[in-house]
């Protein structure tokens, strides 16, 4: 074996380790969190949504219908495994009466309808957003992302990544205590 070839695995590994170091440093400084990216929209009025309704071609999903309520926007797609994982918990929340507006992002219409039929529909309404119209307005990085909008129409919280009970308790639950008992 030639001398230089024997060094290839080492060099490849060092490059990989360099990437990990870079990521960890960014995480350590708080510049990067794979689970959560701060959004500029927190504390600002929610961008308006006007999308075709996934389940009803003649209807449109509008954010103005939610004025005066505390509600969630959940960005999802059938192509995203994390969305599958959080789905059961979203069902649980919707049974508790939490209103969730879904944005089906960069997805195939038939797949999305199938998914909701098979696994249940936790959303009050689902806007279909194949061209990222709403997603760009909301500054969405990836799916799933969940936003909380208060009764004044201000974005209060955002979570990137699947929604689990712990995250719910830490960030979202407090906004609903005033309205209704969770659990």
Partner 1 sequence: MIPEIGHFALVLALVLALIQSFFPLVGAQKGIASWVAIAKPVARLQLVFTALSFAFLTWSFLQSDFSVLYVATNSNTSLPTLYKVSGVWGAHEGSLLFWALTLSVWTTAVTLFGRSIPPIMMARVLGILGLLSVGFLMFMLFTSNPFDRLMPPPMEGKDLNPLLQDPGLALHPPLLYMGYVGFAIPFAFAIAAMLGGRLDAAWARWSRPWTQVAWVSLTLGIALGSWWAYYELGWGGWWFWDPVENASFMPWLAGTALMHSLAVTEKRGAFKAWTVLLAIFAFSLSLLGMFLVRSGVLTSVHAFASDPARGMFILMFLVTVVGGSLALYAVRASKVRSYVRFDLVSKESALLLNNVILVVACAAVLLGTLYPLLLDALNLGKISVGPPYFNAVFIPLTAPLVVLMGIGAMARWKRDSLENLWPKVRVSLVASVVFGVLYPIVVMQRFDWLAAVGMVLAFWVLFTTLKATKDQARGRGLGGLSLSHWGMVFGHIGIAFFIVGITLTSVYSTEKDLRLEVGESYEMGGYAFTFNGSTHLQGPNYSGDRGEVVITQNGEQITVLHPEKRNYRSGMPMTEAGIDAGLTRDLFVALGEPLGTEGAWSLRLYHKPYVRWIWLGALIMSLGGLLSAADKRYRVRARRTVAEKSPVGATV
The region that residue 94 occupies, defined by phi over 0 for left and psi between -120 and 50 for alpha, beta otherwise, is: alpha
Distance CA 174, CA 179 (A): 10
- Judged by DSSP in three states, 146 sits in strand
Backbone dihedral region for residue 43 (phi beyond 0: left; psi -120 to 50: alpha; all else: beta): left
Binder among 59, 88, 111, 152 for partner 1 (CB under 8 A)? 88
User: How many amino acids of this chain bind partner 1 (CB under 8 A)?
Assistant: 51
- Is the CB of 7 or the CB of 56 nearer to partner 1? 7
The region of 10-18, 52-60, 66-74, 128-136 touching partner 1 under the rule CB under 8 A is: 10-18
Where does this chain touch partner 1 (CB under 8 A) — which range of 51-59, 126-134, 148-156, 161-169? 161-169
30 in helix, strand or coil?
coil
How far apart are CB 50 and partner 1 at their closest, in Å?
25
> Considering the rule CB under 8 A, would residue 47 count as an interface residue with partner 1?
no
SS3 158: strand
- DSSP result, 33-80: -TT----TTTTSBPPP-EEEETTEEEEEEEGGGGTTS-EEEEEE-TT-
Residue nearer to partner 1 on the CB measure, 62 or 92: 92
Considering only 55, 62, 65, 84, the residue that binds partner 1 (CB under 8 A) is 84
Q: Which two tokens stand for residue 56?
A: 């009803």
Interface with partner 1 (CB under 8 A): 1-3, 5-7, 9-10, 13-14, 16-17, 19-24, 26-28, 32, 34-35, 37, 79-82, 84-85, 88-89, 91-92, 95, 117-120, 141-143, 160-162, 164-165, 168-169, 183
């Amino acid at each position: 074996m030639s001398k230089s070839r024997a060094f290839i695995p080492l060099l490849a590994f060092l490059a990989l380790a360099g990437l990990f170091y870079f990521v960890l440093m960014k995480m350590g400084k708080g510049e990067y969190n794979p689970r959560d990216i701060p959004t500029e929209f927190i504390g600002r009025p929610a961008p308006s949504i006007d999308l075709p309704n996934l389940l009803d071609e003649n209807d449109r999903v509008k954010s103005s219908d939610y004025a005066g309520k505390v509600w969630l926007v959940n960005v999802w797609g059938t192509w995203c495994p994390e969305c599958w994982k959080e789905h059961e918990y979203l069902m649980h929340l919707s049974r508790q009466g939490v209103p969730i507006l879904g944005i089906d992002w960069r997805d195939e219409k038939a797949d999305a309808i199938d998914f909701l039929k098979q696994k249940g529909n936790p959303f009050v309404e689902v806007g279909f957003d194949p061209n990222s119209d709403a997603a760009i307005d909301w500054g969405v990085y990836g799916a799933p992302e969940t936003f909380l909008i208060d009764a004044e129409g201000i974005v209060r919280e955002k979570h990137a990544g699947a929604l689990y009970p712990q995250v719910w308790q830490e960030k979202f639950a407090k906004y609903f205590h005033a309205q209704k008992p969770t659990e």
